[in-house]
């Protein structure tokens, strides 16, 4: 059976995420602007890049390579069309980060926003160990209502199958998972969202004393 993300249209996803009562596309755009600028790196990898939300903040004078990773090949095709200004810098990789045979290049920074929920901590650990970043910046969704973790919208049924792969996230569990593979948390901030939800951004740095 296919991964549910392979069957969700980018149009449905982006329209849902940008609704006023969801507001996650806008929040993640501003968050990625900060994530791309906060660390002294010139290579980055974005797990779950989707349609490339936030890539407009990639500065050519800072970055020499940015990898966009996603399981949905159609998302990646659209991302490449949307950002011709990143030609020579942006490289899109079609990969299933929850799969057994995922091979990733190395990057100094990994950004993973609303991605760990769909692959789980163990698969995320494996992907990080492959990319070997110095810094990892993640955003996970915190839900007060764990039964209805997808906000109500006209596009709600596009996401019906996500229950098959969704994992409830907790800050403390993510911090523990990262500690297990040699990363220490260096930053945490919570951004409230509509409907009792919030984005929790947690950043980690590789522990050189491990």
CATH number of the domain within which 28 lies: 3.40.50.150
Q: From CA 92, how far away is CA 115, in angstroms rounded?
A: 16
pLDDT of 54 above 80:
yes
Q: How far is residue 58 from each of residues 6, 26, 46, 96, measured CA to CA in Å?
A: 26, 16, 12, 24
Q: From CA 184, how far away is CA 202, in angstroms rounded?
A: 10
Instruction: List CB contacts of 197: < 8 A, sequence separation 6 or more.
Output: 141, 142, 143, 144, 149, 151
Q: Domain residues for 151?
A: 4-206
Instruction: List CB contacts of 99: < 8 A, sequence separation 6 or more.
Output: none
How confident is residue 150, by pLDDT bands cut at 50, 70 and 90?
low
Q: What is the pLDDT of residues 122-131, one digit of tens each?
A: 999 999 999 9
Phi, psi dihedrals of residue 191, rounded to the nearest 5°: -115, 115
Mean pLDDT of 181-210: 88
How far does Cα 24 stand from its chain's mean position? Answer: 12
Q: How many domains does the chain have?
A: 1
Please report the pLDDT score of residue 81 as a whole number.
97
């Amino acid at each position: 059976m296919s991964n549910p993300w392979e069957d969700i249209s980018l149009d449905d996803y982006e329209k849902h995420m940008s609704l006023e009562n969801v507001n996650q596309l806008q929040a993640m755009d501003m968050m990625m602007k900060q994530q791309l600028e906060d660390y002294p790196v010139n290579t980055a990898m974005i797990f779950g890049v989707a349609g490339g939300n936030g890539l407009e903040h990639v500065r050519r004078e800072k970055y020499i390579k940015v990898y966009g990773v996603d399981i949905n090949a159609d998302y990646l095709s659209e991302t490449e069309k949307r950002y011709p200004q990143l030609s020579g810098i942006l490289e899109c990789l079609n990969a299933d980060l929850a799969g057994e045979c995922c091979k990733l290049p190395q990057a100094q920074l990994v950004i993973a926003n609303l991605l760990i929920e769909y692959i789980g901590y163990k698969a995320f650990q494996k992907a990080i160990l492959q990319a070997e970043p110095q810094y990892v910046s993640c955003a996970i969704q915190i839900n007060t209502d764990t039964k209805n973790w997808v906000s109500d919208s006209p596009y709600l049924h596009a996401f019906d199958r996500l229950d098959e792969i969704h994992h409830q996230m907790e800050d403390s569990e993510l911090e523990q998972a990262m500690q297990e593979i040699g990363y220490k948390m260096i930053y945490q901030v919570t951004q409230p969202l509509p409907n009792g939800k919030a984005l929790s951004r947690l950043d980690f740095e590789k522990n050189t004393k491990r």
